Structure formats: C-alpha cells, structure tokens
Amino acid sequence: MLDFAREITPLIEKYGEVPILLNLTKGMNEEQLTQHLKNESLKNPYVEILKHLCSLLPEPLSLELLHLAGINPQEEYSKISGAQKAKFINLLAWTPLTVTGHDVFKMAMITRGGVNLKEINPKTMQSRIMDGLYFCGEVMNLDGPCGGYNLQWSFASGHLAGGLNRLLT
C-alpha cells in the first residue's frame, strides 16, 4: 500500500480523485471466491452468508460489501440468487474504491524529491556545486520500494557522507 501511495499521490493532486479496483481477498479470482463460498456453504449449509464471508474479510467490511451487493447478511448462501452471487463475487474480486486524498507531509513514511543526483559525487556524497557540503538519505531525489531499501540507502549514503570510510583508512 505504501508503494502504491507513492504512485497515486501525484494523480490525486492532478485529478482530485482516482478510481481504483482493489482485490481485498488475497488475490483470489472470481472462480476461487465462488469455490471458497460454495465449500464454506457445504460445510455449514444453514449458516448465514456473513459468517462465510468473515472467513475472508473482517465483519464490518463484509457487511458493507453485502449491503453494496443488495444481499441480506443473514441469508443462507444457497438461497441467494445466481445474479446476486455473480454481482457479489465480482464485487469481492474487484472492489471499487475512489481515493480522494492523502495524509499530509508530517504523516509521510518516505519522501520523494530532493537534491538532484547529478549534483552529487556518488563516491563521497559531496555536492558538485559547493565543496564541503554532503548529502545522505532521503534529502536526495532517490527513493526505493518499501521494505527497508530506503533505510539501507540512508545508512549507506550516511556512511559515505560522514567520511567514515576515509577516517578508517
């Protein structure tokens, strides 16, 4: 989600809102979702659809999706019409959402932008424009996918910028 936010934020700023389709069921496709709900229903045929759906999603989200599909949460799976099931399965596999905003800079986990890399000596992190000025981490126009890459870049570039490698030799 954090990597996705990096890509969608400029689109929100440009268009105001961005419609997306999101799979909330761990990537299960329509066929897999249909089979999962059939299997749950076969194991417990008199249990309400809400309970079957809660095997995939949290209850509040399950209730909202059932509402959007026009299905009574207390209905048994076998009593739901084929058209309702198809609509619901499609909604599960391709949940439509509209992103309308993002949190402000103070909530950011990573940043974009910064000092142009062409203005920095990559061997020392020193500015090519001003001697004695060094850069590291996200102050530079460089960011990677989430998962520790940005932290690693901050540590490695900080090591170079701090001159530790020059002090130790």
Domain ranges for the chain: 18-99, 105-168
Q: How high is the pLDDT of residue 126?
A: 93
Q: How high is the pLDDT of residue 113?
A: 80
User: Which residues, other chains included, contact 123 with Cβ-Cβ below 8 Å and sequence gap of 6+?
Assistant: 160
Q: How far apart are CA 52 and CA 32, in angstroms?
A: 14
Q: How far apart are CA 48 and CA 134, in angstroms?
A: 63
Q: How high is the pLDDT of residue 84?
A: 93
Q: How high is the pLDDT of residue 5?
A: 78
Q: How high is the pLDDT of residue 110?
A: 66
Q: How high is the pLDDT of residue 112?
A: 72
Q: Exposed/middle/buried for 57, CB within 10 Å: 0-12, 13-18, 19+?
A: middle
Segment-wise mean pLDDT, segments of 10 residues, the chain, 169 residues? 78 92 90 93 92 92 93 93 93 91 71 88 93 90 79 89 65
Evaluate whether 23 touches 94 at the Cβ level (below 8 Å). Answer: yes
Q: How high is the pLDDT of residue 3?
A: 72
Q: How high is the pLDDT of residue 42?
A: 93
Q: How high is the pLDDT of residue 168?
A: 53
The matching CATH number, chosen from 3.40.190.10, 1.10.287.1260, 3.30.70.240, 1.10.8.50, for 18-99 is: 1.10.8.50
Q: How far apart are CA 136 and CA 153, in angstroms?
A: 8
The dihedral region occupied by 18, where left means phi > 0, alpha psi between -120 and 50, and beta the remainder, is beta
Q: How high is the pLDDT of residue 146?
A: 74
What pTM was computed for the model?
0.62
Q: How far apart are CA 70 and CA 91, in angstroms?
A: 11
